[in-house]
Structure 1
Amino acid sequence: MLGLQENPQGKGRIIRAWIPNAIKIEVIDLSSQTSLGFLEQVADSGLFESVFETLQSNTNYKFVVTNSEHTYEVIDPYQFKDEAFHAVHYVDTKPQNIYKQLGAQLIDIPVSGGDDVAATRFAVFAPNATAVSLIGDFNCWDGRYHPMQKTQCGHWVLVVPGVGAGAQYKYEIKDPMGNRLPHKADPIGFQAEQYPSHSSVVFNHNEYQWNDKKWLEEQSVVDRYKSPMSIYELHLGSWKPKYDAKGRSFLTYRELAEELIPYIKDMGYTHIEMLPVSEFPYDGSWGYQPVGMFAPTSRFGSPDDFKYFVDQCHQNDIGVIVDWVPAHFPEDGHGLARFDGTYVYEYEDPRRGWHPDWNSCIYDFGKDSVRRFLVASALIWLDKFHVDALRVDAVASMLYWDYSRDEGEWVPNVDGGNENYEAVSLLRWFNEEVYKNYPHAFTIAEESTAFPKVSRPVFEGGLGFGFKWNMGWMHDSLHFISKDPAYRKYHHNEITFSMVYAYNESFILPISHDEVVHGKGSLLKKMPGDEWQAAANHRCYAAFMYAHPGKKLNFMGNEIGQTSEWNYQGSVEWHLLEFDKHKGIQNLFRQLNNLYKDTPALHEKDHEPGGFEWIDHHDAAQSILSFVRKSADNSQKVYVVSNFTPIPRNNYRLGVKDLGNYEVILSTDAGDYWGSNYDCGQKIEAENQPWQGQSHSIELNVPPLSTVYIKFG
């Protein structure tokens, strides 16, 4: 045992220190700054000790160490055992304590008769390790200087005076056989260095001063299901990278605040959603192979820079959603894989612990320590970073043991089925913790199966998510719109089928990054026809999406009609805005966002059957659809007509519910959007002529390959 301890041989107390390369060590009382004597070297490895007969148990001290090169002072970390073991006293009580107690915590230690000592308390969970040492730029990355002490619950702890914010560190761990592992980054690290070191960095979470109280208070009482939500999904590294003589580099979080926020406000989006910003080693994973679950990636700046970005978004009334990845993690040597030489974080059986799709490890959702780790890694984004929502990636892969596995490659649950009860339990707990502790926040599931009640409360037997991505709508509608208009009549059910299940969940309609990569082409390039028809299809489809029940999500580039599919090493093709076609598509998306926000009928009943009614969904022969959206009080109605053919429909009669005046508030064929400016009328008076099951009707011209909005009230 190192540090100050009782003398088992009798009178006085022993101070024992292990300082390799030391020649002489003098002990100084921290309070009086007087010498207490010298330690004697008892082993060539650098072990020193002496008995001090009059030393009190509450005496604090430092060493003056002389080696062959110089003399320096150091406060002995091993005299602060109580402060070190305090790290694990409350870890198991609630998940937030994981990041409040473990990792690298800045503390002040009271010293008897003197000033407090600033220190960092380190604590890491490595239950099966035979030894753990703290290494860093403060000890020349030498594992001999700071061996850690093990607690009964498997944590290794140490308080190191003089180590403060900005210090780089890792853990040197020996496995159960005594073999030294690759140096490990801190699983609870709050900041990390990039390649090649991947070191963790001590960080002070208490310095940033937030200015978003008004936003958080407003969001804590908003009814999200009756409010507009138009999400701009983006990859921070390729939204608008910088190019100079040194090559390509990223906008920082602060630069993004200066450039992205005005763009989002101008375009009318309500939220941004960032592909994962949790620290990750490989750019090509887009963030979906995270290693630092508690740290925003340092590619774009410090954690405080990220806080500034979120803060600025909130002060400009923009919500912030981040992707959270609890399904799997990579095998990088500095990460979580076989952390102490054993399967601390992942399932041991590869039929459960290895993901064939992503060549990555799967968390063991049945272990209490892993469950607390994951829930804590979610909550820190809402707590310390004020993020508004977590979009949970790859939920389907968590829910089913046989996801992407053939027979014989997976192990059934206790009932012989394919459902992962442990993952179900974890997701429910995660959602309960979010909604219980952070009223400003909500959760979103990327879930691609028919698993029931994903976005229903836990007390109703659901998973507890606030929203679910509507992958069925995305797949069917994109398949439909990619067909040549001549063949769309044979696929008419694909564009209408989503309304069969539209209210089974609280849906978000996603045209995400996954749909514009890996050879799928950009959204514009999915559209058939010549240049004009492709752009018209793009616009027609976008307006259909904004009118369809459900919140909206579009990946960056969709809003300008990007021609190339997304490349994480590239950029949004901003130069295309020099051309009227792309400027027109952008104008349309801006108008759609503003209409969607400002028109109650288009969002107030997104998740209630009473907010939508088909007018005519049977006209497959003409590939034309019509429906009506209604406000909560039914006073406002927006009729929507989509013509999915290049043939204009003149004198098209549309059934309506009320007599009175109707106004065309949007035609995707307008000249401002690079359309043909086909005249469909502006003010239309309803006639007392029943049509399409409605009491009255109006007549208008429907342009080719267009969606038209007609408002009443």
Structure 2
Amino acid sequence: MPATDRSTAEAVARGRHSDPFSVLGLHDGWVTALIPDAERVWAVAGRTEVELFPVCPGVFCGAWDGGNYRLRASNPQVTWDFDDPYRFGPVLGAIDEYLIGEGTHRRLWEVLGAHVITHEGIRGVHFAVWAPSALRVSVVGGFNNHDGRRHQMRRRGVTGVWEIFVPGLQAGEAYQYEILGANGEICPLKADPVGFGAEHPPAKASLVRELGLHPWGDGAWIKDRKALNEIHAPISVYEVHAGSWRRVAEEGNRSLSYFELGRQLIDYVAEMGFTHIEFLPLTEHPFDGSWGYQPIGMYAPTIRLGRPEEFAAMVDAAHRRGIGVILDWVPGHFPTDDHGLKRFDGTALYEHADPKEGYQQDWNTLIYNFGRREVANYLEANALFWLDQYHLDGLRVDAVASMLYRDYSRKQGEWVPNVHGGRENLEAIAFLQAVNRLAYGEKPGIMTVAEESTTYPGVTRPTDKGGLGFGYKWNMGWMNDWLRYFNRDPVHRRWHHNEITFASSYTYSENFFLPISHDEVVHGKGSMIGKMPGGTLDKFANLRAFYALMWTHPGKKLLFMGQEFAQWSEWNHDDELDWALLDAPMHEGVRNLVRDLNVLYREMKALHWGDCEPAGFSWIEPDDADASVYVYERRAPGADPVVIAANLTPIERTQRIGLPEGGHWREILNTDSDYYGGANWGNLGTIQADELPAQRRPFGAEVYLPPLSVVMFAPDRAE
């Protein structure tokens, strides 16, 4: 009599047995195997061969006392030998189980997902996935004809984790999870939430990928980067959508690969003097039009541009050139695609069940249940994963405002108050604090940046002082005010003078970035040059003035690609930037200006040291609304001051301005220079400060201010 009775065998064969590992494999001297497409099956070890007898269609059983074995199966078409996945013991250990269950496994990616390992002397792939409400989980792919009966997984106690070791599989194998939900229905096939790679969309399977294949050479960079990311450092970020920066027209207008970006983009960024690149999300996503902001593969660099090791090589190339890499990270929501996290095990697992909490109506996406410890752990570990495995220097966290408030973009009655009756999402707040504690604690020298558009207090305050713990926050108020001002015809600017000065009243309330991002050049908003008023010459003069003020105002800098050379058209993710514009002197002039601003910003301590320190900035003339003139000073300990004067009307002006010291002052930058596309009006390179006080300064000088221009002065130490 076989050890497995028919009813049990039939349950296993139908994929309806709660514990297939208790039936299949070697138990009490009996081998039971499930091979649906076999007619005959043998257990084999060396010269020992025992035929197993059919218990029901697809299930075979026989006595075996020979220890480890392989299986041999045959049908009229073929005979094949293979290692039985059900003869192998568990891979996950008790500590892993405990940490997963507790929601504190910081290196979750080392135990979940698909890993090529050697287990009990055999090479293969270990799969592990969290699906606590599932009745059965199977891994499926071409290796088992996508038959969910073939590799039913082992449930690991109360953790909700399922695992299986599949001998013989290798990196590159495509796989998905077939899940029998608690309601007894099969869910849509699911990609691996901790998958390290994916097929090219629109295909939906995950791919087995090995981590750590790239030989890193950035040890010196990692050691020294803390000084390059801290608040006193010059940080100038070039924001990039990797798929549309450049394309290869002769090859079907394809995007550049990670390898190509590692040469062309890195060279360009270095030439332009930016200190960092920030990539729009490169985590795997199903829809190109989301630009990566609706990710499904949170642990996978998108295959659109290459394999994971090629992404790593691009980051390494940047570090070797002294350039930091920041990735846009999206923990605020996820898409409703059936192969993603939506009702992953047949229940609202990663998301809230109540759409008032779990559905983001603005983007037709789902919201993570940050209060569930396993979900928070999944995301916290993901943040660390990118910093650890791919040596990223920072994460810019998208849509933080939507996470902080339960009533974000909702009307009364469309949201659920917190336990205190308030609108704050206490669970999301705790999650963001945990991410920042983990990131800065585990990877000193990195930065986290919040895209947060409200007045929520303490975004960049340390968590032990009640803050969210981010390193920096995007200054959306500055961006809106300044763009509104520069969009106005200069004749009206006198009535809106405070739109420029107001930002200085709160500029040190947080550690700010000044962002001119992709959000300002899409969805009908046009381009930066297109926002400027007047004819062509005035548009360019206004844009040059805007950039000079942006680079000299307190706050780290961020500029989206294409705006550095005044691209006319709105950004289009399906095509490359309008590089041909650089043949025109006006466009090349703007790029020259941005390059020189980056050089001055990095080399002159006064222009960056006080980005987040009140001692680094003071107004000299903030009130001359009638002339639309602004004058201010940047300073730093032990460094020469820099004085910036702006004339934001199309009328040339001669003004007396205050200066902090006497003697000669060099004109270190003039946006009206013909090198930048201007008319070349200026101060002949120098001004002389006399001892007559002006504008609350002990010295003063007559200064010529060209129309719609910014001029910058520093003491001339060569005299």
3-state secondary structure, aligned to 2:197? coil
Q: 1:187 matched to which residue of 2? A: 193
> Match for 2:664: what amino acid?
N
Partner of residue 441 from structure 1, selected from 446, 449, 468: 446
> Match for 2:68: what amino acid?
N
Q: 2:83 matched to which residue of 1? A: 75
3-state secondary structure, aligned to 1:311? helix
Q: 2:40 matched to which residue of 1? A: 24
> Match for 1:105: what amino acid?
H
Q: Answer yes or no: is 1:710 the counterpart of 2:713.
A: yes
What is the CA distance between 1:222 and its match in structure 2? 4.6
Q: 2:7 matched to which residue of 1? A: none
Partner of residue 420 from structure 1, selected from 415, 425, 441: 425
3-state secondary structure, aligned to 1:404? coil
Which digits, 9 at most, give the CA deviation of each residue in 1:212-267, with x for residues without a partner?
111000114556111100000010111111212x6321100001112101110111
Cα 1:498–1:221 shift into 2, 3 Å: closer
What is the CA distance between 1:5 and its match in structure 2? 4.1
What is the CA distance between 1:85 and its match in structure 2? 6.4
Which digits, 9 at most, give the CA deviation of each residue in 1:562-597, with x for residues without a partner?
000111112211010010110111110111111101
> Match for 1:697: what amino acid?
G
Q: Distance in 2 between matches of 1:699 and 1:591?
A: 25
Partner of residue 402 from structure 2, selected from 385, 397, 400: 397
Cα 1:572–1:510 shift into 2, 3 Å: same
8 Å Cα contact 1:3-1:77 kept in structure 2: no
Q: Answer yes or no: is 1:687 the counterpart of 2:698.
A: no
Q: 1:377 matched to which residue of 2? A: 382
3-state secondary structure, aligned to 1:208? coil
Which digits, 9 at most, give the CA deviation of each residue in 1:51-74, with x for residues without a partner?
22x34xxx3221111122111111
8 Å Cα contact 1:90-1:97 kept in structure 2: no
Q: Answer yes or no: is 1:642 the counterpart of 2:642.
A: no
Q: 1:40 matched to which residue of 2? A: 53
Q: Distance in 2 between matches of 1:35 and 1:93?
A: 47
3-state secondary structure, aligned to 2:507? coil
Q: Distance in 2 between matches of 1:287 and 1:414?
A: 33
* Aligned-residue identity in percent: 45
Q: 2:142 matched to which residue of 1? A: 137
3-state secondary structure, aligned to 2:244? helix
Counterparts in 2 of 1:42-61, with a 5 A limit? 42-44=55-57, 46-52=58-64, 54-55=65-66, 59-61=67-69
What is the CA distance between 1:144 and its match in structure 2? 1.8
Q: 1:66 matched to which residue of 2? A: 74
8 Å Cα contact 2:212-2:309 kept in structure 1: no
3-state secondary structure, aligned to 2:448? strand
What is the CA distance between 1:138 and its match in structure 2? 1.1
3-state secondary structure, aligned to 1:509? strand
8 Å Cα contact 2:113-2:192 kept in structure 1: yes
Partner of residue 555 from structure 2, selected from 550, 558, 564: 550
Q: 2:470 matched to which residue of 1? A: 465
3-state secondary structure, aligned to 1:641? strand
Partner of residue 106 from structure 1, selected from 116, 119, 125: 116
3-state secondary structure, aligned to 2:60? strand
Q: Answer yes or no: is 1:299 the counterpart of 2:297.
A: no
What is the CA distance between 1:405 and its match in structure 2? 0.3
3-state secondary structure, aligned to 2:589? helix
3-state secondary structure, aligned to 2:624? coil
Counterparts in 2 of 1:252-651, with a 5 A limit? 252-633=257-638, 635-650=639-654
Cα 1:203–1:68 shift into 2, 3 Å: same
Which digits, 9 at most, give the CA deviation of each residue in 1:342-387, with x for residues without a partner?
1010011100100011010000010001000011111111011101
Which digits, 9 at most, give the CA deviation of each residue in 1:382-429, with x for residues without a partner?
011101000000000000000000111001111111000000000000
3-state secondary structure, aligned to 2:429? helix
Partner of residue 120 from structure 1, selected from 118, 125, 129: 125
TM-score by length of 2: 0.95
8 Å Cα contact 2:125-2:167 kept in structure 1: yes
Partner of residue 238 from structure 2, selected from 215, 222, 232: 232
Q: Distance in 1 between matches of 2:26 and 2:227?
A: 55
CA RMSD of aligned residues (A): 1.3
8 Å Cα contact 2:53-2:61 kept in structure 1: yes
Q: 1:658 matched to which residue of 2? A: 661
Give the unaligned 5+ runs of structure 2: 1-21
Q: Which moved more, 1:541-550 or 1:246-255?
A: 246-255
> Match for 1:694: what amino acid?
R
3-state secondary structure, aligned to 2:497? helix
> Match for 2:50: what amino acid?
G
8 Å Cα contact 1:84-1:159 kept in structure 2: no
Q: Distance in 1 between matches of 2:242 and 2:27?
A: 56
Which digits, 9 at most, give the CA deviation of each residue in 1:432-467, with x for residues without a partner?
000000013110000000000101110111100000
3-state secondary structure, aligned to 2:336? coil
3-state secondary structure, aligned to 2:527? coil
Counterparts in 2 of 1:669-680, with a 5 A limit? 669-680=672-683
Q: 2:15 matched to which residue of 1? A: none
Counterparts in 2 of 1:149-188, with a 5 A limit? 149-152=154-157, 153-188=159-194
> Match for 1:429: what amino acid?
A
Q: Distance in 1 between matches of 2:105 and 2:287?
A: 28
Q: Distance in 1 between matches of 2:41 and 2:89?
A: 21
3-state secondary structure, aligned to 1:256? helix
Q: Distance in 2 between matches of 1:703 and 1:47?
A: 88
Q: Distance in 1 between matches of 2:373 and 2:640?
A: 51
Which digits, 9 at most, give the CA deviation of each residue in 1:125-153, with x for residues without a partner?
11111111110121121212111121221
3-state secondary structure, aligned to 1:617? strand
Q: Distance in 2 between matches of 1:5 and 1:83?
A: 17
Cα 1:388–1:192 shift into 2, 3 Å: same
Q: Distance in 2 between matches of 1:220 and 1:542?
A: 27
What is the CA distance between 1:97 and its match in structure 2? 2.8
Q: Distance in 2 between matches of 1:203 and 1:96?
A: 20
What is the CA distance between 1:90 and its match in structure 2? 4.5
Cα 1:62–1:84 shift into 2, 3 Å: farther
3-state secondary structure, aligned to 1:265? helix
> Match for 2:56: what amino acid?
A
Give the unaligned 5+ runs of structure 1: 8-12, 111-115
Q: 2:14 matched to which residue of 1? A: none
> Match for 2:231: what amino acid?
Y
> Match for 2:230: what amino acid?
R
Report the number of matched residues.
Answer: 692
Q: 1:10 matched to which residue of 2? A: none
Which digits, 9 at most, give the CA deviation of each residue in 1:71-129, with x for residues without a partner?
1111011111332667646434744331000011121123xxxxx21011111111111
Q: Distance in 2 between matches of 1:131 and 1:439?
A: 42
Q: Distance in 1 between matches of 2:215 and 2:145?
A: 34
Q: Distance in 2 between matches of 1:593 and 1:493?
A: 27
Cα 1:307–1:223 shift into 2, 3 Å: closer
TM-score by length of 1: 0.95
Q: Distance in 2 between matches of 1:563 and 1:400?
A: 37
3-state secondary structure, aligned to 1:536? helix
Q: Distance in 1 between matches of 2:204 and 2:69?
A: 34
Q: 1:113 matched to which residue of 2? A: none
8 Å Cα contact 1:3-1:76 kept in structure 2: no
8 Å Cα contact 1:488-1:623 kept in structure 2: yes
Q: Which moved more, 1:669-678 or 1:683-692?
A: 683-692
Q: Distance in 2 between matches of 1:213 and 1:266?
A: 23
